[in-house]
Structure 1
Amino acid sequence: MMECAGSNKNVPSRKQNRVDILKQFQSRFFATSRLVSFPWTVLENDLELSKSSDVILEILKQGDAHLQVESAGCEPLDELYDALAEVVAAQDVTEGYRTYLLPRGDGVSLLENVALISEGTTGLVTWEAALYLAEWALDHPQTFAGRKVLELGSGAGLTGVVVCHSCGPSSYIFSDCHQSVLQRLRDNLSINGLLNNKTKTTRTEVSVQELDWTDMTEERLKEFSVEVVIAADVVYDPDVVVVLVQFLSKILKCSRGRVPAEVLICSTVRNPHTYAGFKHSLSDAGIGHRVMSGAVNHVFEYNRESEIELVQLYACQ
């Protein structure tokens, strides 16, 4: 009997299971993530044991869902069916807001497109590598604190907004070359209080720059005088890799003779051949790399089955 009592301490209580479920649902709801890996079995068992739909009511409250359940005078499941009917009847939308919840409770809200590729670019949505890099930054704020940061291919802006709000860089340059992405960046930075002086929420000096890797001169790079360069999901096409490596060579060359810039590239390895080609191109250009191994704390909801690798680059002697 003593052993049984002791072993029960390690078994999660129904209350704890419910709390975990509600946190997972809230995080995925605001980020509009698919619920493929949602713990449906645990939820089903809770419903069977409690013989009530209270947990459904709590889930709806977590998501707000624009439902006035308490004042509706009907069962929560009825409200759920009504909400589903509204979704089914709604017209298709091309963009919407996603909110990524941070550990301290606040969130990063971004306007993103629904389609992965739209307006001739992939930069209007947030990709897995950007989420991973943001999590890594939250675990390593000292990499950015008080330093000048340049982000290549900023896209919707998730990584940079997280770094600016949580890591305290002295300045942060968001960059891209696509006009639609640049405008979306400005909109998202304003939403998160990074551009508008009246509502600015951080002391970081923030700017948005149009940056074409093929046209960037060493003189202009020296003017930026950046100390950290980061990029997420920029290694996806062999032709882009060639231009990217040439640009990275310029960055490392400009930092010689002073404290070298810290360059971090985070990639989702969708095509192993393309990614291997990237590493070979780095070597041919005299650029070394080290893999930043080690797990990151899971903060955001995204597909973690994909292979994601973060590398730090340096000029070979």
Structure 2
Amino acid sequence: MAELELGSRFQRRFLAARQLRSFPWAELEQKLRARPGSPLLAEILQKTILHPLCVKYPPSTKYRRCFLTELIKKHESTAAEPLDELYDALADILNEEESSHGYKNYLLPTGECVTLSESVAIISGGTTGLVTWDAALHLTEWAIENSSVFSNRRILELGSGIGFTGIAICKTCNPKAYVFSDYHHCVLEQLTENIRLNGFVLESEPTRPIQTEPQSQEAEATNSQKPKLIVAELDWGSVTEEQLLDLQPDVIVAADVVYDPEIILTLIGMLQKLSASRADRKPPEVYIAFTIRNPDTYHLFQAELDKVGIGWQIIPAHSNSIFLYDMQPNVTILQLFI
């Protein structure tokens, strides 16, 4: 039973392409030394490199090569017979060309999966929006635990990046409509690809839609069972109240958009426009998650909110830990009252 559990821990980390140092290597080596002939390595291989999700949507070539090299090291440190499957798998990967993109597969509590195509580089195409940050994982865990906030409601996400939070909410929280928004053209292209990759259809919308073609072959369910999804190009600095009025969200979410003083001021300016454009509607609920890298930036955000009369409160930490972080991040979620 313990071996099965260890295999599953390897699987979740590997499919999501978490940093290799976060894997339970020491525990694996201990078990292999205790039982040199154990089928544990073969099971881990089946749950990772040979898993159908990895075969269809593999992490980057370099990541898989490093992972297998580490597995082989652990195997060779025991007195066990050589395991041909490990060397065969490594040989296959060594014949592949290096990739600039890789996939990450996040397993959800529903049994479904969020599959994302990501850039291998943290900064790519002049933007940081082509990878998934820990604040997005944190916000998604909170959303799944508080799905009633999103159920049958219209959601606007600011700075959607490549789409992890929105896709996960659409798969687990039953929103009525979900508007993904971002500004950088590379991010919008990748975002659109990832939404389709997860079986969703995009619809046109007044706020300058990015793509509205029919769903791809990846779509696995009919559109009638799913929320209305839109990808919108949204420049916080130049968006008009009229454009925001078209969106009319019930809930606004954002992850990792508070990291620079200039961006903070632009974000707050747009939230003020949203407040002014709601035309007698109930104000939207606003939830913003961010990793506190610089306490001064965090305090500046709170001070600027106070200055313009936007109320805020810290959301208590959620109890479920669905996604495995490389290290526990210092993430906070604020609810804003606009």
Q: TM-score, normalised by structure 2?
A: 0.81
Q: Does 1:211 align with 2:234?
A: yes
Deviation at 1:87, TM superposition (A): 4.7
Q: Distance in 1 between matches of 2:82 and 2:10?
A: 16
Is the deviation greater in 289-298 or in 123-132? 289-298
Superposition deviation, residue 22 in structure 1: 1.0
Contact 1:53-1:76 at 8 Å conserved across structures: no
Give the deviation of 1:194 after TM superposition. Answer: 1.1
Q: Counterpart of 2:102?
A: 96
Which deviations, in whole Å up to 9, do the C-alpha atoms of 1:98-133 show, x marking residues without a partner?
A: 111111222111110011111011111111011111
- Tell me which residue corresponds to 1:52: 37
* Equivalent-residue separation in structure 1 for 2:82 and 2:19 (angstroms): 22
CA distance in 2, matches of 1:252, 1:304: 37
Q: Please say if 1:65 is aligned against 2:50.
A: yes
Q: 1:200 to 1:92 in 2, by over 3 A?
A: closer
- Is 1:32 the equivalent of 2:55? no
Instruction: Measure, in 1, the Cα distance between the counterparts of 2:158 and 2:33.
Output: 51
1:293 alignment partner in structure 2? 316
Q: Which residue of 2 aligns with 1:243?
A: 266
CA distance 1:266–1:49, change in 2 (3 Å): same
Conserved 8 A contact 1:126-1:155:
yes
**Cα deviation 1:144-200 (Å, max 9, x = unaligned):** 001000000100100000111111111100000111111111111111111245736
How far is the alpha carbon of 1:52 from its aligned partner?
1.1
Mapped partners of 2:184, 2:331: distance in 1: 25
Equivalent residue, structure 2, for 1:157: 163
Give me the whole-angstrom Cα distance separating, in 2, the residues matched to 1:115 and 1:258: 42
Aligned to 2:132: 126
Paired position in structure 1 for 2:6: 21
Does the residue aligned with 1:135 lie in a helix, a strand or coil?
Answer: helix
Equivalent pair of 2:136/2:165 in contact (CA under 8 Å) = yes
- Check 1:172–1:266 CA distance in 2 against 1; reply closer, same or farther (3 A cut): same
Change (3 A) 1:281 1:237: same
Specify the SS of the correspondent of 1:296. Answer: coil
Q: Which runs of 5+ in 1 are unaligned?
A: 1-14, 69-73
- The aligned counterpart of 2:208 is none
User: Looking at CA atoms only, which structure, 1 or 2, has the larger radius of gyration?
Assistant: 1
Cα offsets for 1:61-104 (capped at 9, x unmatched): 10143899xxxxx9663432444455567543211111111112
Does 2:189 correspond to 1:183?
yes
Per mean C-alpha deviation after superposition, the further-off stretch among 199-208 and 144-153 is: 199-208
Distance 1:276 1:303, change over 3 A: farther
User: Which amino acid in structure 2 is aligned with residue 113 of structure 1?
Assistant: S
Q: Can you give the 5+ residue segments of structure 2 that lack an aligned partner in the other structure?
A: 56-79, 202-213
C-alpha change, 1:205 and 1:60, in structure 2 (3 Å) is same
Distance 1:279 1:256, change over 3 A: farther
1:74-85 matches, cutoff 5 A: 77-84=83-90
Count of residue pairs the alignment pairs up: 295
Q: Percent identity?
A: 42
Shift of 1:255: 3.6
Q: Distance in 1 between matches of 2:90 and 2:311?
A: 52
- Displacement after TM superposition at 1:289 (Å): 0.7
Q: For 2:20, what is the secondary structure of its paired residue?
A: coil
